[in-house]
Structure 1
Amino acid sequence: MKKAILLFFSLLSLTIFAQPKDFYAKVTAVKDGDTVKVLYEKQEYTVRLSHIDCPEKKQDFGTKAKQRTSDLCFEKTVWVQSNGKKDRNGRILGEIIVNNRWNVNKILVEEGLAWHYKKFSKDTDYSLLEENAQIRKVGVWSMKNPIAPWDWRKGVRY
């Protein structure tokens, strides 16, 4: 009986403290191009846009990426598609869908305001969107030597 009660409370704590997976939430803040804060069931969560990496704030196109993310989803109720995983900083990894039709993550790559983060994503849709943005020379791809955000963070400068 004691084991059953212990198991019950263990499972209950997992459901109480479990993060949501796919859920509707209101975007309350845009921290940068690939990180937003959302309000879900009176709880605030930070969502890191999966599959992509936007330029850092002080990097070329960093401010534009943040502004575009804000234009697309700030103060809107969005669908967060997540597999329930978190990144190393405890942020929910997910795709942000606006009006059940616009994928913010994909729009940022398509407009050259984000790289496909191939180290963490094998999604071919993102690769194709990035290749198309490169061909059209939009956003970061309009620059002679764009520096990927992961290189920028390591101090690589051309």
Structure 2
Amino acid sequence: MFKLLWFVLLLSVNANINLFSPKKQIITGKVVAITDGDTFKILTKDSTLIKVRLANIDCPERKQPFSKKAKKFVSDAIFSKAVKLNVLKKDRYRRYISNVIYDDSLSLCHELIKNGLAWHYRKYSKDSMLQALEDQARKSKIGLWQDQNAIAPWEWRDLQKKKTKG
């Protein structure tokens, strides 16, 4: 009897998780602002302004090498264009964490990694394609991989926090 009750409880918990988990959204809009290499804003047809953070990658921070190049790449690729967001979730800053498609079929995350302008953010992603693209860019010394001592943005942010505390 106990096993049966346990089984029913597990089924109901799984059902509740599925009932409450957000469905992936697809949103389209025009890019109206570029904040940095991995963050920008779109305006939807109903005039909603949405802040977007690219999923699974991390571009150099503002004072890091290649930060301006990453931002320029993103601006050249998507500014004033229609894009499609495959929204994964919202983060604590209310940004839409998304995979972004532009020019009908190009993945902005893939293009940034391929051009050596971002890291695959392995802490949050197991995307083997992003890792393969990063590995190839590293091997070919493309973009930021020209620097043998390139510091990942998350490590750079930690160093900056330690400097301000010390």
Whichever residue aligns with residue 79 of structure 1, its letter is K
Q: Are residue 60 (structure 1) and residue 65 (structure 2) matched?
A: yes
Residue in structure 2 matched with residue 146 of structure 1 by the alignment: 150
Q: Which runs of 5+ in 2 are unaligned?
A: 1-21, 161-166
Shift of 1:30: 0.5
Match of 1:21 in 2: 25
Of 96-105 and 145-154, more deviation after overlay is shown by 96-105
Tell me, in whole angstroms, the C-alpha distance in 1 between the residues paired with 2:150 and 2:84: 31
- SS of 1:146's equivalent? coil
Distance 1:142 1:62 in 2: 14
CA RMSD of aligned residues (A): 1.7
CA distance in 1, matches of 2:81, 2:136: 28
The correspondence of residues 31-70 of structure 1 with structure 2, limited to 5 A, is 31-40=35-44, 41-70=46-75
Distance 2:92 2:129 in 1: 25
Name the larger-Rg structure. Answer: 2
**What's the offset of the Cα at 1:100?**
1.4
| 2:86 aligned partner, one-letter code | Q
Once the two structures are aligned, what percentage of the paired residues are identical?
42
Alignment partners' CA distance in 1, 2:49 and 2:152:
30
Aligned partner of 2:78 among 73, 78, 87: 73
Deviations 1:75-102 (A, max 9, x none): 001111113x112221000011112111
| Structure 1 residue ranges, 4+ long, deviating more than 3 angstroms after superposition | none
Give the number of aligned pairs: 138
| Local SS of the residue matching 2:68 | helix
What are structure 1's unaligned runs of at least 5 residues?
Answer: 1-17
Select which of 104, 109, 119 maps to 1:105. Answer: 109
CA displacement, residues 118-138 of structure 1 (integer Å, 9 cap, x when unaligned)? 011111110000000001101
Give the distance between the partners of 2:103 and 2:119, measured in 1 at CA.
Answer: 24
The TM-score normalised by the length of structure 2 is 0.79
